Structure 1
Amino acid sequence: MIRTYNYYAIFNFADDGINVSFPDLPGCLTYGHTLEEALIMARDALALYLDGEPVEELPPPQTMPQLSNPNDKAYLIKVNIHY
């Protein structure tokens, strides 16, 4: 069985790269040097995080997060998990 999950990630654009965090998933963090790399790493981090959690315990995804930092941008990250 395959389940599709969509969670927003916050990409913080810094001078040395892009830090990525998922507000709904504590501890789900990653990093990339470029936007392309950060998007790939975000998908990988989300898939690994969700694969290790029981489906019943996953928090529901929130709507688009409010951003207060001008260096932040939200991206909706989609992954398919095989159960």
Structure 2
Amino acid sequence: MKDIYIYPAIFSYANDNDDNDDILVEFPNLDGTLTFGNTPKEAHYKAKNYLESYLYMLEKYARALPIPPKRNDIKLKEDQAIEMIKVNLNLIRNEINNKVG
């Protein structure tokens, strides 16, 4: 079982015409994944937590984890940027097992 995963996340920043200043975050190859933050730091933190939970649940139910797309294959809009999100599922497994036990 692999422990370290790195997935690209698309951070969409509000433009001057938006009333909402939130930074939306999505993972291009993970269906239905969307989170947000009010600051870049908060958006990164929430993206990491979301990715940890998402991958852990796939693993728990014996689902195949999607292969992350290559950064260069992702097309961005003007108000978007890519961040690589790294998670350690071994830490999550241990944290969850310690809560249960």
TM-score, normalized by the shorter chain, greater than 0.5: yes
List alignment gaps of at least 5 residues for structure 1: none
**What is the alpha-carbon distance in structure 1 between the residues aligned to residue 55 and residue 42 of structure 2?**
20
Q: CA RMSD in A?
A: 1.6
Q: What is the DSSP-based 3-state SS (H/G/I as helix, E as strand, rest coil) of the residue aligned with 2:4?
A: strand
Moved over 4 A (4+): none
* TM score, norm. by length of structure 1: 0.89
Structure with more of its chain in helix, by fraction = 2
Q: Percent identity?
A: 39
Q: In the alignment, is residue 76 of structure 1 matched against residue 87 of structure 2?
A: no
- Greater fraction strand: 1
| Higher relative contact order (Cα pairs below 8 Å, separated by 6+ residues) | 1
What is the deviation of 1:28?
A: 1.6
* CA deviation profile, 1:13-37 (whole Å, cap 9, x unmatched): 0142100000011112110000000
TM-score (norm 2): 0.74
List alignment gaps of at least 5 residues for structure 2.
15-19, 94-101
